[in-house]
Amino acid sequence: MSKPNISADFPYKSHYVDIYGSKMHYIKEGEGDPILFLHGIPVSSYVWRNIIPHLAGLGTCIAPDLIGFGKSDKPDIEYTMTDHIKYIDQFIETLKLDKIIIVMHGWGSIIGFDYAMRHPEKCKGLVFYEAYLRPINADDISLPYQEQILSWQEQDSVTDLIMNGMHFVDKVLPQSVMRQLSEKELSYYRDPFKTKGSGKPIFQYLNELPNSENKNAVSKIIANYSKKLTESKLPKLMLYSVPGFITTIATAVWARDRLPHLEIVEIGEELHYAQESNPALMGETISVWLQGVERD
Distances (CA, A) of 74 to 92, 200, 256, 293: 19, 9, 39, 37
Q: What is the DSSP letter of 178?
A: S
For the chain, the residue count is 296
Q: pTM of the prediction?
A: 0.94
**Domain residues of the chain, as ranges?**
14-141+210-295
Per-residue model confidence as pLDDT tens for the chain (296 residues): 334 479 999 999 999 999 999 999 999 999 999 999 999 999 999 999 999 999 999 999 999 999 999 999 999 999 999 999 999 999 999 999 999 999 999 999 999 999 999 999 999 999 999 999 998 775 566 666 666 666 655 555 556 666 678 888 988 899 899 999 999 999 999 999 998 888 899 988 888 888 666 678 999 999 999 999 999 999 999 999 998 888 888 899 999 999 999 999 999 999 999 999 999 999 999 999 999 998 87
Contacts of 82 (CB under 8 A, 6+ apart): 217
User: Which CATH number applies to 14-141+210-295?
Assistant: 3.40.50.1820
Residues 118-174 have pLDDT tens digits of 999 999 999 999 999 998 775 566 666 666 666 655 555 556 666 678 888 988 899
Q: What's the DSSP call for residue 253?
A: H
